[in-house]
Amino acid sequence: MRLRPKHVRTRLTLWYVSVLAALLLLFWAGTFMLLFRQLRAQLDHYAVQDIETIEGLLFFDSAGRLQLKEDYHNHPESKHVLERMLEVRSPEGKILYRNERLGNRVLGGAPSPNEGVGGYSERPARLSDGTRVRMVSRFHNLDGRPILIRLAYSEETLWSRLKEMVAATAIIFPIMLAIAGLAGYALARRALAPLEQMARRAEQITPERLSERLPGDEADDELAYLARVFNKTLDRLERAFDQLRRFTSDASHELRTPLASIRSVGEVGLQKDGSREYYRDIIGSMLEEVNRLTSLVDNLLTISRADAGHIQLRKARVPAMDLAREAGALFEVLLEEKAQRFSIEGEDELAIEGDRLLLRQALVNILHNAVKYSPVKGLIKVRVYRERDRTVAIEVADEGPGIPPEHAAKVFDRFYRVDPSRSREVGGAGLGLSIARWVAEAHGGQITLSNSPGQGATFRISLPSALADLEASGRPVSSSQYAARTGSRA
């Protein structure tokens, strides 16, 4: 079973102490190695100097034995020779001389090939009693006879000093890590304190308290960035909840109104004994409310499916003028009742890439508003034109009262009505323009309002041109447009 500390600050502290321990171990290991190499290099340097001194003190006596001059104590350098271990051999390995410090111990054994030839040979060695030494060798000609001079320094003092350093490190190291751990824990706790505050505040946020925000977003560090991201998320959630509440409330109200009307009309009809014509009028009134209720439910279902992403666009090439004529034909009866005039102008070759039914529904919703709010004998004008190189615009202008500036930015919100009482009288629920905006955005376009209070309103739907329209006009077609077009055909 893997043991893992519960708190992040503990894990951070352990990670910090572990990294620090590894770095300190690497640092001390490197330091010890460097120091040891430097001390060895110093021993080699001293040994080379001593060999040069001994070369001048050795001689062969009359019996042919190698001796060291008895007056070497008179030389300033020679007093250091007694602190070294000295051995002289013949090329065949025969021992010619040993100093008293070396005694009967063997220094290095038989000569190795090329040992001391052409320079100095340095290497570590062990004496017969296990003493670690640093040995330097060199061949020398003495009175025409070749000899191998070996001089060694004991490394025991060096190793003992290093052991003392290791022992001191073993004592100091845990103390340093303990101090670093306490400091790291305090630092981690202080650094994570804003997270704990944000967590406590987040626990207090409920659907009824979505206006609460996480603290600590004023600074300019990572935790403040995290707080700002969470606060922006809460902003979106709050707006979504508010929209859902308004949607539920408005939908309930809109549904209750036709249902109450149907109920009241039905109750009144049951209380009286009327003629056939009387009941036909009552049933007609009830059917009007049912139609209004059906339209409202259809719009609610459309919005719900759009929000859930369940509406699949069946894209095809849609001539913009044909779309405008189809939508306008649905209002012929209403136009005749109000003696309103309806005109369509534009270029027949312009086409849109989109879902014909959804685009017609969006245009119908805009035309419905224009017919409702335009005065008797008013003019409703639809214009189709190329807005930019790759955009087709369908513009609907009426001669109604227009929209006050304070309401212009909200007319596309769900259930929003500039005049709730008047809109209810003419059968509006405040969903038509919201659906029209969704359809435009789903097709990669947009819907805008050019408003002149008292002089009418102009709604403009801007949509991407169809690929065939772009090709016919001789304009360049991007690879993304080609892929989108071929995908829609498939």
Judgement on whether residues 128 and 227 belong to the same structural domain of the protein:
no
Q: Let me know if residue 410 belongs to a domain.
A: yes
Here the CATH number for the domain that contains residue 257 is 1.10.287.130
- Tell me which of 281 and 257 has the higher pLDDT: 281
Output the CA torsion sign for 279, 280, 281, 282. positive
The reply to whether 191 falls in a domain is no
Q: Which regions of 270-378 does DSSP assign to beta strands (E)?
A: 315-319, 341-346, 351-355
Domain identity same for 277 and 140: no
Chosen domain end from 127, 160, 193: 160
Q: Same domain for 291 and 323?
A: no
Amino acid identity, position 46:
Y
User: Which of 91-100, 255-264, 317-326, 382-391 shows the lowest per-residue confidence on average (mean pLDDT)?
Assistant: 255-264
Q: What is the pLDDT at residue 474?
A: 44
**How far apart (Å, rounded) are the C-alpha atoms in residues 285 and 269?**
11
41 or 254, greater pLDDT: 41
For residues 365 and 299, state if they share a domain: no
86 is a domain residue = yes
User: Within this chain, do residues 285 and 420 fall inside the same structural domain, yes or no?
Assistant: no
Number of helices (H) and strands (E), helices first, in the chain?
A: 12, 14
| One domain, residues 412 and 335 | yes
Q: Are residues 477 and 378 in the same domain?
A: yes
Task: Show the domain range for 238.
Answer: 222-305
> Minimal CA–CA distance to 132: which of 109, 153, 105?
153
- Residue 174 inside a domain? The answer is no
Domain boundary among 272, 305, 338: 305
For residue 319, being part of any structural domain is answered with yes
32 pLDDT higher than 60: yes
Comparing 80-89, 108-117, 254-263, 480-489, the range with the smallest average pLDDT is 480-489
Among 62-76, 264-278, 448-462, the range of highest mean pLDDT: 448-462
Q: What is the CATH number of the domain that holds 359?
A: 3.30.565.10
**Is 111 in the same domain as 27?**
yes
SS3 of 20, please? helix
Task: Give the CATH number of the domain where residue 125 resides.
Answer: 3.30.450
How does residue 257 score in pLDDT terms, banded at 50, 70 and 90? low
Among 130, 160, 190, the domain boundary falls at 160
* pTM for the full predicted model: 0.48
**Do 353 and 456 belong to one domain?**
yes
Overall number of domains in the chain: 3
Report DSSP state, residue 413. Answer: S
Strand order in the sheet with 121-126: 95-98, 85-89, 145-154, 132-142, 121-126
Q: Are residues 351 and 414 in the same domain?
A: yes
Residue 212 lies in a domain: no
What is the β-pairing status of strands 315-319 and 351-355? antiparallel
Please tell me whether residue 464 adopts helix, strand or coil conformation.
Answer: strand
User: What does the pLDDT read at residue 415?
Assistant: 67
Q: Are residues 279 and 318 in the same domain?
A: no
Tell whether 183 is covered by a domain: no
What is the residue whose two structure tokens read 């350093």?
165
In a domain, 122, yes or no: yes
DSSP state for residue 123 in the 8-state scheme: E
Cα distance between the two ends of the chain: 55
Question: Do residues 319 and 371 share a domain?
Answer: yes
Residue 477: what pLDDT?
A: 39
Give the pLDDT confidence score for residue 307 in this predicted structure. Answer: 65
Per residue in 234-251, pLDDT (tens digit) is 888 888 787 777 767 766
